[in-house]
Amino acid sequence: MTDRQEDLVKDEAVTDEVVNEETTVEEPSVFTEEEKTEAVDSIEDEIQKLRAEIDEKENKFLRLHADFENYKRRALLDQQSLMTYRAQSLVSDLLPVLDNFERALQVEASDEQTASFKQGMEMVYRLLVEAVKKEGVEEIPAIGEQFDPNFHQAVMQESDSSKPSNEVLQEFQKGYKLKDRVIRPSMVKVNE
């Protein structure tokens, strides 16, 4: 290759380098500094408004979610309570029947036929008592216990120095509770 050809190749390489380099040309600004500042302030205001709106929506969502969770918990508790105490109405209606059976069973049988009838009533009474016990009904203990207004209803007072104060002396009507809920308090006589 001749000197002239070498110089041309070198020139082409330099020209390629110059063309390949990025050149930055400043374009004249269309906006003034004041307009740019106003535009930036306007955008920042809009961003703040959108952030506030997002925060408000998020708070509303969180409150709604919490309300829904509370509703679900209350509904579950109500359903559990309903299942636990489903027999309360029936048991309340059966308590007078139990009372009448107990009164009838206290009568002395004078002849064989009455004794046989009484024995049949005892069997029905036991079946009825077992059925309500299966539902969770319990008698409230009274005689000899300390008076508790949550379980006992005092209808009389008597003074007996041989017994401690506030002790139940006599039970007039049995009290019952269904699981942990009192259906009917015991009607009692209490020592002063």
For position 91, what pLDDT does the model report? 86
By CB atoms closer than 10 A (0-12, 13-18, 19+), residue 140 is buried
Low-confidence ranges of the chain (pLDDT < 50): 18-19, 22, 25
pLDDT at 74: 95
Q: What is the pLDDT of residues 54-75, one digit of tens each?
A: 999 999 999 999 999 999 999 9
Rounded-to-5 percentages of helix, strand, coil across the chain:
60, 15, 25
Residue type, position 47, single letter:
I
d(CA 101, CA 21): 111
Give the model's pLDDT for residue 16: 53
Residue linked to tokens 């703040």: 48
| pLDDT 10s digits, 96-129 | 999 999 988 888 888 889 889 899 999 999 999 9
